[in-house]
Structure 1
Amino acid sequence: MSASTSGGGGLSPQAAAALQEGIGLVFARWTALQMAVENEWGGRDSRAKADRLAADVLSFFTTSKGPYYFDDLEEMMFDNISEFFNADFEDGSVGEVAEQVLIMHEECLQNNYSSIEKLRNTRAQANAVSQSRMMVTDEGDDSSDDSSDDDDGDEPARADDMSVDEPKPSKPAPDADGWTVVPPKRGGRGKN
């Protein structure tokens, strides 16, 4: 995906401040980044490294004239995450965050701060990491509740009540005409 935004004109000081706030709001809601910070994947200064990542993303827009390409921003973010946290976020979130930041930048160039206002006004997730842990805890509680409800053992378990993880195919299966679809590699990560 090589979407680009226009490089015409720079950001006004007000727009740059709004973009900085928007980047901070997006990063605060980015579960993978918040997990890296909370679990100190980058060492004791993981919070400072996350702040530096945000500053580098802002600098991407403020120090060059553009045009700004999605692939360049995503690659810069992947490289910084790898360097700062010794991790690769393979959940697709880096691309999603890069796309959202590019959209915010384009809006800021037009003095349109609607997406930043929306982020500001929506109830911020108090902590994305604790929310994801809460789901795991809730599942554990549900299963123990289910077992205490069915202690008599007389009723067979209903399929609706059971939670079973679906098996994941280890290899791509050939389609009807015999061709096998191979999933794409993560693009833009090759080092020359």
Structure 2
Amino acid sequence: MSEPLASVQGEGANLVLSDPKHQSRFELGVCMAVYQWDNLQTAVDNQWGGADSEDKRDWMVGSVVELFETSNYVDSDDIEDRLLGIMEDEFGVSIEDNTATPVAVSIIQLYKECAEGNFSHVDELYAKYQEKESKRKAGLLPVNKVQTEGSDEEDEDEEEGDDDEEMNDAPASSSSSDPSEPQGPIVDEDGFELVQKKGNRRR
């Protein structure tokens, strides 16, 4: 088995940062790294995890943070396995394009930076997220559509519905009519953001 690309080890029982502000910024950094994973965004856009796909994405963030709360050693392989496992279990998607690797490596780097009080990378990711969400809400970014085996059945159901309605014109695209928008992380004026963790976590 190859060595992980990045790792971090602490001296205590876990890797929770002693300074609450540093820990809060790290959790925000994890959130931003996960939110900007294109494969996950596609899964959320298409609701492959069901109506609560956005909640499952937030739960994924908390699950990654939990790795640092329950161990004094975490490497990029641990994080990548957690990301891929949740994608498969909760969204029914098997990711094999190695795009989870840079996300995992980035999270390790964010931890090290936040431990040193360096939040520039977190701030950069958050600024990019805000810009992207502004464009998305303005309709400047299309909803990602990727054909998967799991979506074949849904497509067949939609086709049957179209036949029953006997419409003369092709149905309008629903890609821009999603009433729900990801609210994203909430950060107070001091830069603190609490990652909400939910039950039934993967171990």
User: Structure 1 length normalisation: TM-score?
Assistant: 0.61
Q: Distance in 1 between matches of 2:43 and 2:127?
A: 26
Instruction: Give 2:122's aligned residue.
Output: 116
Instruction: Give 1:43's aligned residue.
Output: 50
Is the 8 Å Cα contact of residues 29 and 124 (structure 1) preserved in structure 2? no
Q: Distance in 2 between matches of 1:124 and 1:63?
A: 34
Specify which structure has the bigger relative contact order, considering alpha-carbon pairs within 8 angstroms and separated by 6 or more residues. 2
Instruction: Give 2:175's aligned residue.
Output: none
Instruction: Give 1:85's aligned residue.
Output: 91
Q: 1:125 to 1:131 in 2, by over 3 A?
A: farther
Is the 8 Å Cα contact of residues 29 and 125 (structure 1) preserved in structure 2? no
Instruction: Give 1:26's aligned residue.
Output: 33
Unaligned runs of 5+ in 2: 146-203
Is the 8 Å Cα contact of residues 15 and 109 (structure 1) preserved in structure 2? yes
The Cα of 1:77 is off from its aligned counterpart by: 1.5
| AA matched with 1:130 | P
Instruction: Give 1:5's aligned residue.
Output: 8
Identity of paired residues, percent?
A: 28
- The 5 Å alignment of 1:136-175 reads none
Q: Distance in 2 between matches of 1:4 and 1:28?
A: 21
Is the 8 Å Cα contact of residues 60 and 86 (structure 2) preserved in structure 1? yes
Instruction: Give 2:152's aligned residue.
Output: none
| AA matched with 1:104 | L
- Which SS does the other structure have where 1:99 is aligned? helix
1:73 to 74, 79, 87: 79
Is the 8 Å Cα contact of residues 78 and 88 (structure 1) preserved in structure 2? yes
User: Structure 2 length normalisation: TM-score?
Assistant: 0.58
The Cα of 1:32 is off from its aligned counterpart by: 0.9
- Which SS does the other structure have where 2:131 is aligned? coil
Q: 1:8 to 1:108 in 2, by over 3 A?
A: farther
- Which SS does the other structure have where 1:111 is aligned? coil
Q: Distance in 2 between matches of 1:24 and 1:55?
A: 8
Q: Distance in 2 between matches of 1:77 and 1:120?
A: 20
Larger Rg: 1
